[in-house]
A and B are shown apart, each in its own frame.
Chain A
Amino acid sequence: MTVHTRPEKPSAEAAVQAFLGQIDASIASYLETCVHCGECAEACHFYEVTKDPRYTPTWKLQPMVRAYKRHLAPFSGLKRALGLAPSEVTLDELEEWSELVYDACTMCARCTVVCPMGIDIATAIRRMREGMVAAGVAPEGLHEASDRALNTGSPLGLTLRVLQKQIADQEKETGIPVPVDVKGADYLVILSAMELIGFPEVIGALSRIFKQANVSWTFSSAAFEATNVGVQIGSKEIATSLLGRVVDAAEALEVKYLISPECGHAYGALKWEGPNMMGRNYEFEVIHILELLEELRLEGRLRIGGKDSRRLAFHDPCQIVRRGGVVAEPRNLMAAVAANQVVTAHAGINNYCCGGGGGVSSNHRAEELRFKAFAVKKRQLEEAGGVDALVTACANCRNVLEEAIDEYEMDLPVLSLTELLAEYLEPEGGAG
């Protein structure tokens, strides 16, 4: 089946139709209830660093609000007849809003937490992006990533040969064979594109952990990437196509669980949006790697033999913690492995985004703004008295943070929580 990534020509009408198609009672209640109090601006890292009022989260929804109020809202017909309905959204406006919706929003949902009306702006932005794609005003960087993902399965264009090379390197490093295409394994491991190309050590870390915990697991040569750029650009068609490959591979291998890797949006795409996009639930369960690691730790199968003595702070990935519900697990795992954990202000469900989620890191034109947004994280760390290293559980956060740290000429390693745990595993044969 051909997946359409771009419309034949830019069209505001297509956007309006797509906006309206995305609005159910929940989205309508959000668009109806906003009282324009402006509190959401105070939660947004992009507003905080720029003080640009256009970056007020609720303002980013304006075109969809106008389309709704003109065409779908109660009394919209009456208001149109009386000339009181908002004007029709134009292509120029959509092009202007492309920056607000794609460059200046990571769908981190911090604004949702602060909103007195409980408006889920992040979810509304996700829906709005469907209209932006339909209009042809999505950023080129995300389109390029979508094309690569559809052609190769990876937004970075990574092929099976890359996985095989990384597996071979990690097998050599750890001396542990990595299972591939093992039918009937309990767990299927997939990686984020960023892990595969930038942080392949996670493969060795998983090998060591799973060996100690005696976990039955496998990679699939048919689908090994979790990153779903379709969810980021806002195209259900692209997202479903990419997701379908993973679901098919997991079901073909008859695994019991699919492990969502250290990747924020992948977790939302696989666990929460996925079944809705596929129109059915899966024959397997989706479990986040942090959930599995905590489960193994509690069962005594993951045994930590020492603790890192550095001052370590955990950066909560928005899509895993605030929007994913994996809140306690990273805290418990950090406590198990970090002797001097630094808990920054706002840690947990109020944490600031890395600045590059929601496709912002794939969107070249947003780079300068993304680096600016890091100032908030920097301040957060300074206020906590400084740390020796940051730990996180999202390879995209990790990459975004590393790039920003370089930009700010800081010396601050960013670690994966999975890799950190693997580093401190109890040696074979027991602690003694």
Chain B
Amino acid sequence: MTFLEWTEGPLWYGASAIFVVGAAWRLFGILRLGRRVELSRPRASAASGALAAIVRHALPRGEYVERTWYHVVAGYLFHLGLFALLLFAAPHVAFIHDRLLGVGWTPLPRWAFIVVAELAFAGLILLWVRRICDPVMRQISDRDDHLGTWLTFIAMLTGCLALQETSPVLRGIHMLCVEVWMVYFPFSRLMHAFTWVLSRGFMGANYGRRGVSP
């Protein structure tokens, strides 16, 4: 079995299993704590409040942008870029078609991939530079923040190196880096990719029943 076959075979299945089971266990571990029954009489709908918060907190708040613009810009660059790469990079579309869903869609043209990748890298680097330079960010950051950033950066970088598809080893290295990232994911703050729905939803429901959507 070649290195690429290993990374696209047993290692891929192992990492996927850890990713799926670990993330599900983490979500279950939060939800199993239950929620206190609210006895106060609601002024408005908790469900509407939850939905409003889920949407509203995805958007930058105009009143604060003067102070938060750096993080807002870098955050959007990175996240939108990452999702575009993840879902529309040609090798990913092929992988999704062949190995995961059996369906595919039109991938990004090469020039668009380059632009999107540069924006995603710029966003991630800007976020990390802020993390190591800003006194607030230095105060609140921990090992997990840096490790998550670097694993993501390396997965993206090796993906770019593998884009030419000139060498199966480069593709294998990218697969291996993604698998390490997937194994790390459920145990780390990267889980915010799923838990944001819970935090926004719980907060929105709490305030929604009070008749306000902060």
| Residues of A bordering B, CB below 8 Å | 23-26, 28-30, 32-39, 41-43, 47, 51, 53-54, 56, 58-59, 72-75, 79, 109, 112-120, 123, 271-276, 278-281, 285, 321-325, 327, 345-346, 349-350
Contacts and interface: CB of A to CB of B under 8 A. Distances in A.
B202 A281 contact: no
Nearest to A28: B30
The 7 A-B pairs of least Cβ separation, nearest first, read: A74-B29, A118-B200, A325-B211, A26-B202, A53-B139, A325-B210, A275-B39
B57 A116 contact: yes
21 contacts: A24-B35, A28-B30, A30-B203, A32-B198, A35-B145, A36-B189, A41-B136, A42-B67, A54-B139, A74-B26, A74-B29, A113-B63, A117-B195, A118-B53, A118-B200, A120-B202, A120-B203, A272-B40, A325-B210, A327-B211, A350-B63
Contacts of A324: 210, 212
B64 interface: yes
Contact of B40 (A116, A117, A271, A350): A271
Interface in B156-214: 186-187, 189, 191-192, 195-196, 198-204, 206-207, 210-212, 214
B137 A36 contact: yes
B212 A36 contact: no
A119 B203 contact: yes
Contacts of B138: 53
A55 B25 CA distance: 33
A323 B207 contact: yes
Which of A26, A73, A274, A281 gathers most chain B CB within 10 Å? Answer: A26
Contacts of A325: 43-44, 207, 210-212
Interface of B is mostly: helix
Given A28-B30, A118-B204, A120-B202, A276 B192 contact: no
B41 to A, nearest CB: 7
A119 B41 CA distance: 23
A23 B33 contact: yes
A116 B41 CA distance: 28
Contact of A118 (B57, B137, B212): B57
Contacts of A116: 57-58, 75, 196
Contacts, number: 182
Given A35-B192, A56-B139, 4 more contacts: A26-B35, A32-B26, A35-B145, A276-B40
B207 A74 contact: no
A323 B135 CA distance: 29
B203 A112 contact: yes
Contact of B68 (A32, A75, A114): A114
A382 to B, nearest CB: 16
Which of A30, A273, A274 gathers most chain B CB within 10 Å? Answer: A30
A327 B212 contact: yes
Given A25-B202, A38-B71, A42-B67, A73 B29 contact: yes
B68 A42 contact: yes
Contacts of A54: 139
Contacts of B22: 75
A114 B71 CA distance: 12
A25 B139 contact: no
Contacts of B201: 118
A346 B210 contact: no
Given A39-B68, A118-B200, A32 B214 contact: no
B34 interface: yes
Contacts of A273: 40
Which of A24, A29, A51, A276 gathers most chain B CB within 10 Å? Answer: A29
Nearest to B39: A275
Contact of B136 (A56, A79, A115): A56
Nearest to A29: B198
A119 B137 CA distance: 17
Contacts of B211: 325, 327
B203 to A, nearest CB: 4
Contacts of B97: none
Contact of A276 (B38, B137, B145): B38
A25 B40 contact: no
Contacts of B67: 42-43
A233 to B, nearest CB: 20
A37 B198 contact: no
B210 A32 contact: no
Contacts of B101: none
A120 B201 CA distance: 11
Given A36-B141, A118-B53, A113 B61 contact: yes
A345 to B, nearest CB: 8
Nearest to B37: A276
A54 B135 CA distance: 9
Contacts of B30: 25, 28-29, 32, 74
Contacts of B130: 38
Contact of B41 (A75, A120, A285, A322): A285
Given A24-B36, A28-B33, A117 B200 contact: yes
A117 to B, nearest CB: 5
Contact of A281 (B40, B134, B139): B40
B103 to A, nearest CB: 31
Nearest to A327: B212
B28 interface: yes
Nearest to B131: A36
A115 B211 CA distance: 19
Contacts of B191: 32-33
B185 to A, nearest CB: 12
Contacts of A58: 140
